[in-house]
Amino acid sequence: MLTEPMICVPILEKSIDSALKSSNKAIKLGADILELRIDTLDNPDSDKILNLIDKLNHRFIATNRMHDEGGFFKGSELERTEILVEVAESVDFVDIELQTHVKYRSKVIKSSPSCIISYHDFKKTPNMSELLNVVEKEKDLGDIAKFAVMPRNIQDTLTVLEVLSRVSNTIGISMGDLGKYTRVVAPLFGSPLTFASVDVESAPGQLNINTTRNILKQL
């Protein structure tokens, strides 16, 4: 369990060399933790990924996002999850989607020192009872729950914050321009980390790291 909000910068690059450069830049700008998006790498290789992590000596979340939730990995589910298993012991957290088939998901969870169980909906914001149900399932499986949803109106963004006010150790994000403010307000409702960008947004409405840190300092 994280004890204070952290700023996480996702690293979305096609090559290990580019990922190394982006990671160093994010670290210099003050990223508390990096999310390595393995699914954006061309021909991801576990040994090369482990070498990258070792070189940087920084906190990492390993994510290999599935297509259905906005990812780009081209291989099978077995290949997608096996990479996470292979790098799990070298990172601080592994992110695995709630909807991942149980036979793959359970292996990733067992291999991980700490696991973020995530849920993404890029079309809508489920109602409060649905989101609470998602979070409950996630918390039963992993160490940190995460949901990122798309608002259709301002009330949807308030639903996200209301859910966060009722649960613990949960990352909650309302995406897009409407939900942009939740990325800096969510830590006030107990979200253990928030995502910010350096050069490329990993999700709609993501603020850059400097803006995020400056706002958080004022809260």
Average pLDDT in the 174-184 region? 92
Determine the pLDDT at residue 210.
84
As a whole number, mean pLDDT of residues 194-206 equals: 74
Q: Is the pLDDT of residue 2 over 70?
A: no
**Does pLDDT of 163 surpass 90?**
yes
Nearest of 42, 98, 45, 103 to residue 69 by alpha carbon: 98
Question: Which region among 73-87, 98-112, 193-207 has the lowest average model confidence (pLDDT)?
Answer: 193-207
Nearest alpha-carbon partner for 71 in 60, 59, 84? 84
Q: Is 120 one of the annotated active-site residues of the chain? A: yes
Between the two ends of the chain, the Cα-to-Cα distance in Å is: 22
CA-CA-CA-CA dihedral for 80, 204, 58, 137, to nearest 10: -60
pLDDT tens per residue, range 122-134: 999 999 999 999 9
Largest Cα separation within the chain, whole Å, is 45
Candidate list 107, 120, 124, 139, residue with the active-site label: 120
Q: How far is C-alpha 118 from the geometric centre of its chain's CA atoms?
A: 7
Q: Over 60: is that where the pLDDT of 3 sits?
A: no
Q: What is the spatial distance between Cα 8 and Cα 120, in angstroms, rounded to a whole number?
A: 17
Percent of the chain with pLDDT over 90: 84
Q: Does the annotation mark 123 as catalytic?
A: no
What pLDDT does residue 200 have?
Answer: 60
Q: In the CATH hierarchy, which fold is given to the domain comprising 6-218? A: TIM Barrel (3.20.20)
Arithmetic mean of pLDDT, 7-27: 96
Distance (Å, rounded) from C-alpha 194 to C-alpha 191? 7
Q: CA of 110: how far to CAs of 32, 115, 140, in Å? A: 25, 9, 13
| % of the chain at pLDDT higher than 70 | 95
Whole-number Å distance between alpha carbons of 187 and 161: 10
Asked if residue 202 has pLDDT above 70, the reply is no
Confidence of residue 217 (pLDDT cuts 50, 70, 90): confident
Per-residue pLDDT reduced to its tens digit, 24-66: 999 999 999 999 999 999 999 999 999 999 999 999 999 999 9
Choosing from 28, 101, 146, 217, the catalytic residue is: 146
What's residue 1's pLDDT?
41
2-6, 91-95, 194-198 — which one is most confidently predicted on average? 91-95
Each domain of the chain, given as residue ranges in start order, spans: 6-218
Residue 205 in this model has a pLDDT that exceeds 70 = no
